[in-house]
Amino acid sequence: DIQMTQSPSAMSASVGDRVTITCRASQGINNYLVWFQQKPGKVPKRLISDASSLQSGVPSRFSGSGSGTEFTLTISSLQPEDFATYYCLQHKSYPWTFGQGTKVEIK
């Protein structure tokens, strides 16, 4: 099984900060990676597909990069509505696996 190691597990940041979240795959997954945002009590929202393709309607301050085993989600200037938990998902092979999540909290 492919393990997805997401870091950090939690972070405190201020509005306007640049935030970077990393997912590392235990083996190469090409670009079969999706990033989701989830707010408490809500359904996950897909932000980025194929490691770097921004979904329609997602603000351009979100970006994704990487291929193979290392991937990053970057929020260029954190906004109040971005405080949430972020997950990566590899869909290269079954069982699909999520990272354990990164909770972004207000500093």
Partner 1 sequence: EVQLVESGGGLVQPGGSLRLSCAASGFTFSNYWMHWVRQAPGKGLVWISRINSDGTGTSYADSVKGRFTISRDNARNTLYLQMNSLRVEDTAVYYCFCLEAPAGEDWGQGTLVTVSS
Residues contributing to the site for partner 1 (CB under 8 A): 1, 34, 36, 38, 43-47, 49, 55-58, 87, 89, 91, 94-101
Q: How far is the CB of 46 from partner 1 (least distance, A)?
A: 4
Q: How far is the CB of 98 from partner 1 (least distance, A)?
A: 5
Task: Provide, for the chain, the percentages of residues in helix, strand and coil under a 3-state DSSP scheme, each rounded to the nearest 5.
Answer: 5, 50, 50
Query: From CA 72, how far away is CA 6, in angstroms rounded?
Result: 9
* Nearest CB to partner 1, comparing residues 47 and 51: 47
Neighbours of 28 (CB within 10 A): 11
Q: How far is the CB of 16 from partner 1 (least distance, A)?
A: 26
- Total residue count of the chain as it appears in this document: 107
